[in-house]
């Protein structure tokens, strides 16, 4: 329902919506990128899958990665959820949480911005955190 002048239609034109793509990206100081793209909102379950797969990959490629690696997270709800924290502890993942609203010190945010501004946003629609 909407307010409308008498005699006009009460319908709203369909808006074409592109599929939502969520990204989880990690990278290391060697330049390796560990990315996950899903057509689902990121939540604790998606984060758990990503962490398990990341640890499996790192364990295979660099068995002693825990000695020189720390995974950083902002404080998104799915980063600090009970489920995520339990997985990080169970897999012995070294982790550091950034302060609130610290997008400017999170290196992955720069990568997100570059991807969103180019390859995934051909129409150059405004994106990102404000």
Give 71's strand partners. 95
Is 92 a domain residue? Answer: yes
The pTM score is 0.70
Q: Which of 40, 56, 44, 34 is nearest to 84 (CA)?
A: 44
Is 15 a domain residue? Answer: no
Is 100 a domain residue? Answer: yes
Domain with residue 65: its CATH number is: 3.30.420.10
Is 68 a domain residue? Answer: yes
Q: Which domain holds residue 65?
A: 22-117
State the average pLDDT for the chain. 79
Is 36 a domain residue? Answer: yes
Domain count, the chain: 1
Is 49 a domain residue? Answer: yes
How do residues 20-48 score in pLDDT, each as one tens digit?
A: 778 888 877 777 888 888 888 889 999 99
For the chain, residues with pLDDT lower than 70 are 1-6, 9-19, 101, 103, 116, 119-130
């Amino acid at each position: 329902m909407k307010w409308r002048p008498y005699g006009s239609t009460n319908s709203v034109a369909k808006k074409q919506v592109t599929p939502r793509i969520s990204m989880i990206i990690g990278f290391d100081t060697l330049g390796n990128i560990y990315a996950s793209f899903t057509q689902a909102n990121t939540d604790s379950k998606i984060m758990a899958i990503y962490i398990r797969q990341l640890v499996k990959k790192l364990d295979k490629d660099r068995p002693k990665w825990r000695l020189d690696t720390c995974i950083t997270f902002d404080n998104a709800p799915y980063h600090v959820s009970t489920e995520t924290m339990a997985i990080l502890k169970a897999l012995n993942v070294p982790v550091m949480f950034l302060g609130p609203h610290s997008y400017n010190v999170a290196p992955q945010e720069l990568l997100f911005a570059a991807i969103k501004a180019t390859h995934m946003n051909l129409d150059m629609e405004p994106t990102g955190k404000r």
